[in-house]
Amino acid sequence: MLGEFDLVEPTSVAEASEVLARHGDAARIYAGGTELILAMKEGLIRYDYLVNVKTIPGLAGVRVNDDGTLRIGGATSHRALERDPLVRERFPVIARMESDVANVRVREVGTLGGNLCFAEPHADPGTLLMLFDATVRIERKGGARTIPLEQLFVGPFETCLEPDEVLTEIVVPPLPVHSGSAYLKFGFLERPSVGVGVAVTTDDGRVREARIAVGCVGPVPRRMREAEAALAGQTAAESRNTLAEAGRIAARASDAITDLHGSADYKEHLVGVLLRRAFEQALASSDGSGAP
């Protein structure tokens, strides 16, 4: 059963950072708790203080800059993203991915920042957002820094956040014009076994750029730049022939592990299958409208 802890509800990020700094390992950010509380109930981890960042004014919310960049507050719930009109219009692939995260109860209380910072490998958002070269803003009392999302993940359940840092914002630049994107996942347990995101930018019938991200199979989600390079510059017809090779490259690079979700070789195979399917979908939606 859930052990006892104090719930701290700061009113600013600086205050949250201060509380976290004061209690060190005894404190942890609560940003929805859909993973954290499960682990605490199981007795796997224990904290004396949970610091609720969901009640900090201004930390939840979605806006789009004039240049089309999507800015998501760290405490924005999956459900809010799934239903947000701007996200659905400008970043439909993100809205779709969010609408398929876990179940509606998790989506209602779980937040995007919480999801990224818990760094559970079998998760969807990190993989997809990498396609957009998303960055995250990280704040602490008296300072802030912005890093590429790719650098956030260090290992399973491990990020580069310092104990007193709070992820406050996820910044998602739009894809170039003539881009299409897709995110596909596959699994048979509650969490996905494999997640693959693909974004394709076309230019006069050629693949100007392909972006590929793979998650769930290995310790952290990551971009597959070698596989991306294999597809860049090809005609649509050529790229289809190259997909199998790109899939093999991505599979090798994914650091697949054998666990309850499947054997490593099966997951590597699935990376290739999902890459091919996601690429076809992304290519089909790169119709020049610019909306991925």
Partner 1 sequence: MIIGTAAERLDAREKVTGAARYVSDLVVPEMLHAKVWRAPVPHARLLGVDGSRAARSPGVVAVCTATDLPVKRLHYGPAFKDQPILAHEIIRYAGEPVVAVVADTERHAAAALALIDVSYRELPAVTSAAEALAQGAPVLHPALDRSGHFRDLSGLRPVAGTNVCQHYHYDRGDVARAFAEADLTVEDVYHYPALSHHALEAHCAVARVDGDGLTVWTGTQHPFPVRKELAEVFDLPLAAVQVIVPLIGGAFGGKCYTKIEPLAAALAARVRRSALTITRHAVTVRLRTAVRSDGTLLARECDVVLDTGAYADIGPRVATKAGYRAPGPYRIPCLSIDARCVYTNNVPAGAYRGYGVPQVTWASESQMDQIAERLGLDPLAFREKNLLKRGEEYVAGDTPMDGDMADALAQTGAAIDWGRARERGRGVGLACAMKDGGGTHTVSTAAVRVNADGSVTLLTGSVEMGQGSRTALAQIAAETLGVPLSAIVVESPDTSITPYDHGTSASRSTTVMGLAVEAAARDARGQLLELAAKFFGTEPEKLAIHDGVVACGERTMTVGDVVSGHFGLVGGEVTGLGTFVPGTWSGSLGGATLFWEVGMGAAEVQVDADTGEISVEKYVSVADVGQAINARECAAQDEGAAMQAIGPALFESRVSEAGHLVNPGLIDYRVPTFADLPRELETVLIENRDGPGPFGSKGVGEGGTFCPAPAIANAVARATGVRIKDLPMTPERVWRALRDARGTRRG
Picking from 112, 1, 109, 105, the residue whose alpha carbon sits closest to that of residue 46 is 1
Identify which range of 78-86, 157-165, 246-254, 258-266 contacts partner 1 by CB under 8 A. Answer: 258-266
With respect to partner 1, which residue has the nearer C-beta, 54 or 122? Answer: 122
Is-contact 242 230, C-beta < 8 A?
yes
Exposure string (b/e) for 28-54, b if CB count within 10 Å is 16 or more? bbbbbbbbbeeebeeeeeebebbbbbb
Among 149, 186, 213, 231, binds partner 1 (CB under 8 A): 186
| Interface with partner 1, residue 263, by CB under 8 A | yes
With respect to partner 1, which residue has the nearer C-beta, 89 or 245? Answer: 245
| Interface with partner 1, residue 189, by CB under 8 A | yes
Among 3, 68, 155, 156, binds partner 1 (CB under 8 A): 3
Is-contact 116 147, C-beta < 8 A?
no
Min CB(287)–partner 1 separation in Å? 26
39 token code pair: 């682990």
With respect to partner 1, which residue has the nearer C-beta, 140 or 267? Answer: 267
Distance linking the first and last C-alpha atoms of the chain: 44
Identify which range of 74-82, 85-93, 189-197, 201-209 contacts partner 1 by CB under 8 A. Answer: 189-197
Compute the distance between CA of residue 179 and CA of residue 201 in angstroms, rounded to an integer: 4
Among 161, 270, 275, 283, binds partner 1 (CB under 8 A): 270
Give the type of residue at 271: V
Min CB(23)–partner 1 separation in Å? 20
| Interface with partner 1, residue 188, by CB under 8 A | yes
With respect to partner 1, which residue has the nearer C-beta, 203 or 245? Answer: 245
Among 191, 206, 240, 248, binds partner 1 (CB under 8 A): 191
Angstrom distances, CA of residue 183 to CA of 38, 93, 107, 186: 27, 7, 18, 10
| Interface with partner 1, residue 244, by CB under 8 A | no
| Interface with partner 1, residue 114, by CB under 8 A | no
Sign, CA torsion 292/130/184/97: negative
| Interface with partner 1, residue 262, by CB under 8 A | yes
CA angle 231-250-201, nearest 5°?
35
79 token code pair: 């459900």
| Interface with partner 1, residue 104, by CB under 8 A | no
| Interface with partner 1, residue 155, by CB under 8 A | no
- Using a 10 angstrom Cβ sphere, with 0-12 exposed, 13-18 middle and 19 or more buried, the burial of residue 222 is buried
Min CB(119)–partner 1 separation in Å? 16
**Chain contacts with partner 1 (rule: CB under 8 A):** 1, 3-4, 38, 42, 186, 188-191, 260, 262-263, 266, 269-270, 273
